[in-house]
Structure 1
Amino acid sequence: MTSVDALASLGRARALVLRTTTAERVADAVREEVVEGRLRPGERLPEQAVCTALGVSRNTVREALSQLVAERVLVREANRGVFVAQPDRDAVRDVYRVRRLVEPAAVLSGEAWDAERVATVRAAVDEGRRAADTGDWAGVGSANQHFHRALVALAGSPRLDQQMALLLAEMRLVFHRVPDVREFFEPYLGRNDVICGLLEDGDRERAAREVTEYLAAAEAQLLAAYDPR
């Protein structure tokens, strides 16, 4: 079954898609539902339901879903349809391999580093704190996604921003494997705050080191959530 909330949220993206009427925009809308945790691993995504939600043609949706299959966000199963992907251990390792190259470098050497960009990082930290205060741990997860997106945005590269969107979609699917969402995300609220504080102080070198250590710890925790081989 497809999440009713996800389809309703896709419906709210209809105005954006209608302004462009492209498969890429449809793919962006569906991918964002994955990033925000509204589409979960293993959920079926019927073409007609997406057509209805976004008000676009079936051919456009089919093209968009094929793009997301190529990105490993979705999988196509013969005679069954299209489903949200369920990343395995190798996918976790590869995603973190890329993140360890990209995120610390954006923090250390990003050409778009300025007060406005750092304020976006702070906004994500504050968003996570507010969600935690209300016990909204799924919201904390979304805020964490926004935090890492803001770190990569320090590079000032639209291509890296686009690549990060793909990585965040895969990451959110991985996070669904965590048995206790609060236990996983709560310690990173403080670590996010530390990294942001270092950026605000202009200590980019130390902030980059913190990001590297952070990613290593998160990868180890996520791999532990999978059955050992």
Structure 2
Amino acid sequence: MNSGLSLADHITLELRADIIGGRLMPGMALVENDLVSAYNASRNTIREALHRLGQEGLTRYVRNKGVMVRRLDVDDVRDLFRVRRTLELQAIHTCRPLRDDQSDRMLDALEATELARQREDWRAVGTHSLAFHQHVVGLLRSPLFDEFFTNVVAQLRLVFCTAPDESSFQAPWLIRDRQIHELLIEGDKHAAEEAMSLYLDDSEHQLLQMLNPSSHH
């Protein structure tokens, strides 16, 4: 247990990890009593953790229902992709040649995505694919951006959960992640940036269509 973290910090991190892992879905209630016994923590501690998740945009308070895992809308998705473009493209644009450990972390995420795909665990596919993009942002070597982006990933994960058919939704991306990784290894930053830019455009478009099927722009 990291001594610098309070119990509320730990619970916040663990609940966020449950969101990123696809175990907590949009619209699920986070019941104070259940969390008090699950984490063997005081009510105040649980409230503090829930408050933080709210500040991170992962939960919201619904009158008469309590705290629920948040459902994100079209505006949220646009904002998330604004952030993704800023951080992921900048990370590629400014990165030095990939070190072995950076490349290995990306490869691990890609392999995990592949294995999840083989077992048709689409929820895990989404989680591991996002891990790859976290490693891309990691190229900026900024702990602050890493922390911030983890929260962005948790919100994206909540959007993925709303896909009616997660298999067709998650299937096409792995090959494109692999291609971006290859280009980074080759040191072709320009092509990697272009591939990532297209990737983000297509991903955003797909999510917006999923959330709002009637719109065609």
Band of TM-score, shorter chain: over 0.9
Please, which of 1, 16, 24 is the counterpart of residue 9 of structure 2? 24
Supply the AA of the counterpart residue of 2:180. Answer: I
Gaps of 5+ in 2: none
**What is the match of residue 220 of structure 1?**
205
Correspondence list, 1:97-116, <5 A: 97-110=82-95, 113-116=98-101
2:211 matches 1:211:
no
2:79 matches 1:94:
yes
TM-score, normalising length: structure 1: 0.88
Structure 1 residue 98: Cα displacement: 0.8
Deviates most, 21-30 or 124-133: 21-30
**Residues 47/111 of structure 1: CA separation in 2 closer, same or farther (3 Å cut):** farther
**Residues 81/98 of structure 1: CA separation in 2 closer, same or farther (3 Å cut):** same
> 1:112 & 1:157 partners in 2: Cα distance?
17
Supply the AA of the counterpart residue of 1:121. Answer: M
**Residues 58/27 of structure 1: CA separation in 2 closer, same or farther (3 Å cut):** same
Q: Aligned with 1:82: secondary structure?
A: strand
Q: Aligned with 2:199: secondary structure?
A: helix
Structure 1 residue 183: Cα displacement: 1.0
Given that 1:112 and 1:155 are in contact with CA atoms closer than 8 Å, whether structure 2 keeps it comes out as no
Q: Aligned with 2:60: secondary structure?
A: strand
**What is the match of residue 78 of structure 1?**
63
2:144 matches 1:144:
no
Please, which of 19, 24, 35 is the counterpart of residue 34 of structure 1? 19
Structure 1 residue 213: Cα displacement: 0.9
Structure 1 residue 71: Cα displacement: 1.5
Supply the AA of the counterpart residue of 2:173. Answer: Y
Q: Aligned with 2:110: secondary structure?
A: helix
What number of residue pairs does the alignment pair up?
214
**What is the match of residue 10 of structure 1?**
none
TM-score, normalising length: structure 2: 0.92
Please, which of 155, 171, 176 is the counterpart of residue 170 of structure 1? 155
> 2:37 & 2:4 partners in 1: Cα distance?
16
> 1:182 & 1:191 partners in 2: Cα distance?
16
**What is the match of residue 199 of structure 1?**
184
**What is the match of residue 105 of structure 2?**
120
**Residues 68/36 of structure 1: CA separation in 2 closer, same or farther (3 Å cut):** same
Structure 1 residue 17: Cα displacement: 8.2
Structure 1 residue 111: Cα displacement: 6.0
Q: Deviations for 1:193-213, whole angstroms, at most 9, x for unmatched residues? A: 101111121222221221111
Identity %: 33
Q: Aligned with 1:225: secondary structure?
A: helix
Supply the AA of the counterpart residue of 2:203. Answer: A
Correspondence list, 1:48-67, <5 A: 48-67=33-52
